[in-house]
Amino acid sequence: MDRKSKDGMPRYQQIALDIATQIVKQQYKVGDRIYARSSLASKYHVSPETARRAICLLADMDIVEAEKGSGVVILSVDNAARYLQQLTGVETMTSLRQSIRQDLDNQLLLAQQLREKMSDLMDRAERFQHLNPFNPFEITVEVGSICEGKTLADVNFWQNTMATVIAISHNGELLISPGPHNRMQAGDIVYFVGDENAPSRVDRFLRGGR
């Protein structure tokens, strides 16, 4: 079996490519007689069978002609050039195919990593919620809010939001567990607890008075 280079090209094709390149570069001219197969095998450090396959490949492309007992004769520079162009196109397609496959593999790996990180984040968030069931949400009372200047009882805060107010920050002072008659002013920060949808309900309720 022919050894292959890192790019996957069989050794006999490498030899044929090298000879064709030398022909195109005019290092060999039409009519020149070059290596016998045994000399070719010795030059490229390959088996006689590998050398024979390289010559047969070039002969099939009408680039050279192998004359028994007389070595190899150069037939055509143009055919050598066409062979190089053809081989270059095949190599380019192979390279592109390998590049696309590698890109797809990388994308699949990245997607898998993102899924794992997202799963880990959700697990951590769920554990944190269980460990901190009363971790409060917060919202600022803005000018024009339905709560501005009113008490929790005035606006029926719990009935309208299903959220429980646990503290109100007013002018930097924190009032823990405010009563139903504590008034809220613009700029106050209201701390509350509730289910995962409580923040959106409270936000909609406070903005509803505008």
Is 95 domain-assigned?
no
Tens-place pLDDT, residues 103-128: 788 888 888 888 888 888 777 766 65
CATH number of the domain enclosing 183: 3.30.70.1450
Last residue in a domain, options 42, 66, 83: 83
Confidence class of residue 208 from pLDDT cuts 50, 70 and 90? Answer: confident
- Which residues form the domain of 44? 11-83
**Alpha carbon distances (Å) from 190 to 41, 95, 157, 171, 201:** 88, 62, 11, 12, 14
pLDDT of amino acid 33: 87
Is 104 domain-assigned?
no
Same domain, 15 and 79: yes
pLDDT of amino acid 125: 64
Q: How would DSSP label each residue in 141-181?
A: PPTT-TTTTEETTTTTHHHHH--EEEEEEETTEEEES--TT
CATH number of the domain enclosing 40: 1.10.10.10
Displacement of CA 38 from its chain's centroid (Å): 50
Displacement of CA 199 from its chain's centroid (Å): 36
pLDDT reading at 209 higher than 50: no
Residue 136 tokens read as 């409060």
Last residue in a domain, options 83, 107, 127: 83
Find the range with the poorest average confidence among 1-10, 11-20, 64-73.
1-10
Is 102 domain-assigned?
no
Q: Is the pTM of this model over 0.75?
A: no
Last residue in a domain, options 83, 101, 125: 83
Query: What is the domain count for the chain?
Result: 2
Is 125 domain-assigned?
no
pLDDT of amino acid 6: 44
Is 79 domain-assigned?
yes
Is 94 domain-assigned?
no
pLDDT reading at 37 higher than 60: yes
Is 55 domain-assigned?
yes
What percent of the chain shows pLDDT beyond 70?
Answer: 86
Is 202 domain-assigned?
yes
Find the range with the poorest average confidence among 114-128, 152-166, 188-202.
114-128
pLDDT of amino acid 9: 77
Helix (H, G, I), strand (E, B) or coil at 127: helix
